[in-house]
Structure 1
Amino acid sequence: MQTLLNRAELQSLQSQINPHFLFNTLNAGVQLAMMEGANRTLFFLENLAAVFRYNVRRLDIEVTLKDEINSVKAYIDLMKVRFGDMIHFNLEIEDEELFQISMPPLILQPIVENSCIHGIGEKEEGGCINIRAYRDEDKDIIEVEDNGVGMENGIIENIFKEALGNEAMAIKPKKGHTTGIGVNNVILRLRLYFKTDDILDIFSVKGVGTRVVIRIPANRRG
């Protein structure tokens, strides 16, 4: 029964967007860009299609860290059109085996969105987003770190409070975001999927940056 309840909760987090119209429109744009030799526009539309396709998948079907990283790369390329060279991205994976970590979809992208829009995007000189994955005893650790403007402790406390309530269940439009999925939603889905509350921490220093740490049981590698 609990498994069914968890599944129902996960499904209720899914967006109700019908993707067909947008997919068809994007495909038309891709074809037009190819015909006109507009390579930068083609690259942008292909990344937009990849991000959108990943965003509208069912949220109760597990993916791998590799899937999540590919989605983040496409999203970063989109943001570089907006922010230019203000955004830099680094990826450090200790062992390729870690790419097979199983998790719910749309975990890393909302965190990276938060870094882009509210962290680095608010700094005139821009900044860098680092994603790391490594082993630590019986856990696989995934870190998303930026050197943006940072957050006050009160904001972090509110994120975790919202992850306990109905607010986190809804996918809502958010200014500057492509998914409408907040970090509170990410925390809730991770807790449901891994059946533990000790899954994610946020460390931030105002004016220095933010680090999000996800701790996944090592037996969740595919």
Structure 2
Amino acid sequence: MKDLNQLGIEAMQEGNLEEAAKFFTEALEERPDDAVIYINFGNLLAFVQESDKAMRFYKKAIELDEKAATAYYGAGTIYYDKQDYKEAANQFQQAINKGLSHSDAFYMLGMSFMQAGSPKLALPYLQRAAELNEEDTEARFQLGLSLASSESYDEAIEQLEKVTQLEENHSDAWYNLGICYAFKDQPKEALEMLNKALNVQPDHLLALNAIKSINENMQ
């Protein structure tokens, strides 16, 4: 017979959230010192946007097992959603330090630094996220933005080109390629990329404004 925690996970995966909560509650009655159950229940609560309750469950899991990496990750996502990026970064760093090596952990740590206005601090973590999951266009896109913000335009172009190879209709990748070429004083290439952005998204206002600005400067 499957244990109650496993039944809760399966019910959650199937979208039976009330049933999942029932299984997790019963599992905790059986094993009140099991950090994994608190983490799973916390994930369920976070999913239904009961973020304060979820945080209590993650903190309880950490009290029971200070090496519970996924509890730190869960807490990090709640801080991130609350736009407390400094504390989010701290929690994601803790998750990685405790052994969580999934690309999502590095991506969220990098994004916490990006949202806090520190693209240079974000760089190594977004790089690692892209290395761990080469098909993750969002991680690679954010890596490109981080490189561009650090004025590493050639490296940014390399990453953004990979994004467009993976996702041809990524209008923002084409737009940011155009901006990188503009900063490199290559207006012809910049206009080519910006027009590709418009081909994908005709109402891309930033691309339209950038094209207008480049054309005015070329006159």
Query: Highest CA radius of gyration, 1 or 2?
Result: 2
Higher-helix-fraction structure: 2
The normalised TM-score by structure 1 is 0.28
> Greater relative contact order: 1 or 2 (C-alpha under 8 angstroms, separation 6 or more)?
1
